Amino acid sequence: MTPRRNSIVTKARLGWCLVLCGSIFFTPAALTADEASRATTETIDFTRHVQPILAKHCYACHGPDVAESGLRFTSQEAAYAEADSGEFAIVPGDVDASEMIARILSDEEDHRMPPEGDRLTASQIQTLQTWIEQGATWNKHWAFEPMRRVSPPDVESEAWNGNPIDAFVFDSLKRSGLDPNPLADRHTLVRRVYYDLTGLPPTADQVKAFVDDPDPNAFSKLVDQLLESHHYGEHWGRHWLDLVRYAETNSYERDGVKPNAWKYRDYVIKSFNDDKPYDQFVREQLAGDELEKVTTETLTATGYYRLGVWDDEPADPLQARFDGFDDIITTTSQVFLGLTVNCARCHDHKIDPIPQTDYYGMLAFFADVTPWGVRGQDPRINNQIDVSSEEVNRLYRENDAKQASLKAKIHEIEQAGIAKMSGPDQRATEGNQKDRKRVLDKHLRSKLANERWKEYQSLKKQLKAVQELAKEIPPRQSVMGLARLDAHPEQTFVLFRGNPHSPADPQAPSYPTILDKTIPEIPVADESAKSAGRRRVLADWIVDPENNMTARVMANRLWQFHFGRGIVRSSNNFGQLGVPPTHPELLDWLGHRLIDEGWKLKSMHRLIMNSRTYQLSSQSSEPAVSRDPNNDLFWRFDPRRLRAEEVRDSMLASIGVLNRTPYGPSFYAKLSKEVLAGQSVPGSGWGDASQEQRDRRSVYIHVKRSLLTPLLTAFDFPDPDLTCEERFATLQPGQALALLNGDFAHEQAARLSQAIYAAESENAVVVRRSIQALLQREPTKSEIEKGGRLIESLVAEHGLSRERAVQLYCLSVMNWNEFLFLD
């Protein structure tokens, strides 16, 4: 293979060129004869083909908030109604009578539609015309229909019939006149699969072993091997942490710490490693305290509710309380259901058929959830659950009782002595403990008889002994979660314009009516109940196989994290303003398979990764690019830049210093004084860590909302205040600066030079070992020559020591695109 040596800055420039060149695909152009033929013969589906055009180009003037000329395109009734002008925008079956088409085709500036922005492409216009000719059927939105039981198509290629995924993809490619890319070479595949499943690079030896393995099942065996690595859970658990807005502090000015938040993170990682069924994973997070079998693990899962921001000094406490509910509703509805129920907080949803009552019906399920804390009260009361063993608790109870008894006897003797003291001394003992101790030390002996004094001294020795015994008892264990709930919450009301001070109609727990109009059966909590029992009902409904959304949403996320984007690109929004699925039949098939396989995720990974679709090369093809520039049909594998954690972890792993120990408390990355000074209280809430800890994987870095690690943020680490469905993948100067000038990168370059014994090695050996470590391959002859010349010039022309010159060479390789990008 030909190595790519240009810097990340050059890659960024190329990215801009692609963006500019890509704009030609949004310029109106004549249809080719082949395109016109397909457009007029294909059955147009409203939700997939028409609604996205209306939403992008028409809603600004004829949408939920504006109805110019009395026309809206948000419902069939409104779109087909007579406009204020007396004309009809859409007349099913009659293109000539449909004013919408006439306006779109008009060249008159004051008559054409849309009046501003991009004109519709010829393909889009043809789609609308064909749709009207075919009767302008206004389908129910695809996501609100039940998942269909579909069979994979039987395609002409034997190789593409082996895996059902391939059959669906190949069928769509052939119907579009496209051919898939050839398979990627083995060197590309082994790097792809290592990063995809573990977020770490393979070693050069692991690459060679795979490339040289003659076993035709070598790839599937490698997938199985990596799925059993604990690094799998660390990498895929991080995907989930993005979704649930994971952080370890509360945000706002003080940004206080969330004790034991890291245990929720470890719960997620372990759940992925254990291949916990997804339906169980959902139940534990939403109702882990209400299941038939409540364990430390299920209680830890309820830390899900404690991950959001919390204002410890709100101007309006009631508003802050309902903002907390909104955070839970936003995250729950988008992450598990792919619905933006949160858009109905203040009014009916503007786009999807989600009335305001649905929002408060969902809120009622969470009504027993207390806030993180209440100002003036120890917040740990609400969110720290004691999960110590019964034996440990018994020992503490017994010790506490002994201490209390001894302290009571000691206090009794002290009070007897105090009664004989002067008035000023008596009053002093009623003040702070320091003054009381001073008076007792000075006067108590003289006020007690000898026997009484001996008894006093004996009791104090006994108390000290009991206190020493307490130190030998194992410490109590706590997890972050729903420690205290309101088992009998107040009535939930629909709030007028979302104002908690303006309650309107009462609202009982209810499911989103677009999915289920049945009335939930809510158990009545008895007087001894610790929770209202409602969240269990919601959790069971969400993971019910009959639910339209849950399996689809998770299957789509699995596809997204393997291919860089989902079958539905807007993976948190399957609603009418979301992006329609490119392969709806495949998505439904995957959703059913997820359920049929017992909601096991590792089985889905095997299925996806053993497909030819996953193993395609990423090479560009001019005919395919011209027809499908966004690779919607998966004719190739999309290359990608490493994610933030992968960049940092790859440096440590390539050097051989990565601490691979899983689980445990978070560590504090090394930050500069300048970064620490940026807080409201400079340096507050950021601790220290040993080098051994700082060599751990990035998933274990302490996530402080007001002080995210700069190296990670440069590479698009998400804002943890809201659910993140997909990270940005930017190419910007801050990344090049972090890798070329950042302290961390320079430190790792110096460590690499030591690891390859650069001081006692010739330049050619240094170059070879650097490339082997960082790129997992042998260098070319040209690379060896150029690398040697670079080291020599840094010494001869720039006056650097050879040690420093070698370090800078190592740093340069860390900046090669081949290190930062995956094919």
Query: Tell me, what's the pLDDT at 704?
Result: 96
Which is nearest to 723 in space by CA: 602, 557, 563?
557
Query: Tell me, what's the pLDDT at 466?
Result: 94
C-alpha distances (whole Å) from 723 to each of 480, 698, 713 are: 19, 19, 16
What is the distance between the alpha carbons of residues 609 and 201, in angstroms, rounded to a whole number? Answer: 17
Q: Report the greatest alpha carbon distance in the chain.
A: 115
Give CB contacts under 8 A, 24+ apart, made by 164-170: 164/589, 164/607, 165/586, 165/590, 165/607, 165/608, 165/611, 165/613, 165/614, 166/611, 166/612, 166/613, 168/583, 168/585, 168/586, 168/589, 169/583, 169/586, 169/611, 169/613, 169/633, 169/634
Query: Tell me, what's the pLDDT at 2?
Result: 36
The tokens describing 110, both together, are 């004051």
User: Which ranges of 338-376 would DSSP assign to H, the alpha helix?
Assistant: 356-365
Q: Do the beta carbons of residue 651 and residue 748 sit within 8 Å?
A: yes
What is the distance between the alpha carbons of residues 276 and 290, in angstroms, rounded to a whole number? Answer: 18
Alpha carbon 324 to chain centroid, angstroms: 19
Burial class (CB in 10 A: 0-12, 13-18, 19+), 133: middle
Helix (H) or strand (E) segment spanning residue 480: strand 478-480
Query: What residues in the chain have per-residue pLDDT under 70?
Result: 1-41
- pLDDT by residue (tens digit) across 355-407? 999 999 999 999 999 999 988 889 899 999 999 999 999 999 999 999 999 99
Query: Tell me, what's the pLDDT at 746?
Result: 97
- pLDDT by residue (tens digit) across 707-731? 999 999 999 999 999 999 999 999 9
Query: Tell me, what's the pLDDT at 65?
Result: 77
Query: Tell me, what's the pLDDT at 40?
Result: 52
Strands 503-506 and 384-386: unpaired
**Which residue is listed with tokens 């409904």?**
541
Which one-letter amino acid corresponds to residue 398?
Answer: E
**Which residue is listed with tokens 């922005």?**
117
- Positive or negative: CA dihedral 234, 239, 242, 244: negative
Which is nearest to 373 in space by CA: 414, 330, 317?
317
Query: Tell me, what's the pLDDT at 31?
Result: 41
The residue length of the chain stands at: 823
Coil, helix or strand for 90?
Answer: coil
Which is nearest to 238 in space by CA: 263, 268, 275?
268
Q: Where are the domains of the chain?
A: 46-138, 277-374+486-542, 386-472
What is the distance between the alpha carbons of residues 421 and 424, in angstroms, rounded to a whole number? Answer: 8
Task: Phi first, then psi: give them for residue 174, nearest 5 degrees.
Answer: -65, -40
pTM of the predicted structure, to 2 decimals = 0.88
What is the distance between the alpha carbons of residues 452 and 445, in angstroms, rounded to a whole number? Answer: 9
Query: Tell me, what's the pLDDT at 74?
Result: 81
Query: Tell me, what's the pLDDT at 28?
Result: 35
Q: Measured between alpha carbons, how far apart are the two ends of the chain, in Å?
A: 12
- Say which residues have a Cβ less than 8 Å from residue 568's Cβ, sequence separation at least 6: 338, 556, 574, 578, 579, 580, 581, 587
- pLDDT by residue (tens digit) across 334-353? 999 999 999 999 999 998 99
Query: Tell me, what's the pLDDT at 35?
Result: 44
What is the distance between the alpha carbons of residues 628 and 611, in angstroms, rounded to a whole number? Answer: 21
